[in-house]
Amino acid sequence: MPGIDQASDFASVELDGRLVGGVALIAVPPYSEIPAYAFFDPDLPGPELDQVFGAILEHSVAAAGKYAAAASSDARPLLVMNAGVGSPYAPFLEARGFSYLRSYFVMRKDVGPGEPQGALPEGFRLRAVDADADVEAVAHVVTAFEDHHGDQVFSADQLSHFMHEATARPDLSLLAADDDGPCALALNGINADGGQVEIVATLRRARGPSGRV
């Protein structure tokens, strides 16, 4: 996956030879937000967990500095650490000057083989995603919300990596097109919890009142 310095974008934390945490920075220009995605073993004792948090944060701050230095002149670079609701990582970060920015929600719905399928409006075509042939098309559609604050637009190389991960299911993902080309998509996967919609995007021209995607 592209970045300024891949060696510093990803880091792992070990205790007594055991992997107990890590972090990945996935940032794209203009680097107004520099997202850092951390993971850790929540069953560690408090003092050890604080050690892991400290290592993750120290590495993230150092790695983010490279993106901040490369940010566009009108950007105000922010290091954004992911910390879910109820995570012990959240109070750790707050005690070190971080403040709440936004929440993400997981929405669940039971589905079965008889799930009704919606009909596409006239002029639209829908097909499965080809993880190799459709990389540029997917990258184009994912720019749908690039003007929304905080949205992260992935590069074609990043999306190619994403669509080839073990849990990715491009064959169960969908790409919609109209006469002007690709305009909407849903990238799906299957993990231990079941099916999951990873990315949904619709270009502005295909949104709006009924009759559009």
Q: Residues 16, 62: one domain?
A: yes
Q: Residues 142, 68: one domain?
A: no
Question: What are 64's two structure tokens?
Answer: 């983010």
Do 159 and 207 form a contact (C-beta atoms < 8 A)?
A: no
In whole angstroms, what is the distance from residue 182 CA to residue 4 CA? 30
Question: Is 79's pLDDT higher than 50?
Answer: yes
Do 23 and 43 form a contact (C-beta atoms < 8 A)?
A: no
Question: Is 191's pLDDT higher than 90?
Answer: no
In whole angstroms, what is the distance from residue 132 CA to residue 181 CA? 17
Question: Is 141's pLDDT higher than 90?
Answer: yes
Considering its fold, how many domains does the chain have in total?
A: 2
Is 107 a domain residue? no
pLDDT (mean) for 133-149: 87
Instruction: Determine phi and psi for 183, rounding to 5 degrees.
Output: -140, -15
What pLDDT band is residue 1 in, cutting at 50, 70 and 90? very low
For residue 211, the model assigns a pLDDT of 44
Q: Which of 61-65, 69-73, 152-156 has the highest mean pLDDT?
A: 61-65
In whole angstroms, what is the distance from residue 79 CA to residue 169 CA? 31
For residue 183, the model assigns a pLDDT of 96
Residue of 148 and 22 predicted with greater confidence: 22
Percent of the chain whose pLDDT exceeds 70: 92
Q: Residues 89, 11: one domain?
A: yes
pLDDT (mean) for 177-192: 92
pTM, rounded to two decimals? 0.60
Q: Residues 151, 75: one domain?
A: no
Question: Is 55's pLDDT higher than 70?
Answer: yes
Residue 193 corresponds to which amino acid? D
- Among 40, 75, 94, the domain-final residue is 94
pLDDT (mean) for 18-47: 89
Residue 137 corresponds to which amino acid? A
Is 116 a domain residue? no
pLDDT (mean) for 151-168: 83
Do 45 and 84 form a contact (C-beta atoms < 8 A)?
A: no
What pLDDT band is residue 180 in, cutting at 50, 70 and 90? very high
Is 108 a domain residue? no
Question: Is 168's pLDDT higher than 80?
Answer: yes
Is 188 a domain residue? yes
Residue of 179 and 114 predicted with greater confidence: 179
Is 119 a domain residue? no
Q: Which domain holds residue 131?
A: 125-206
Q: Residues 27, 87: one domain?
A: yes
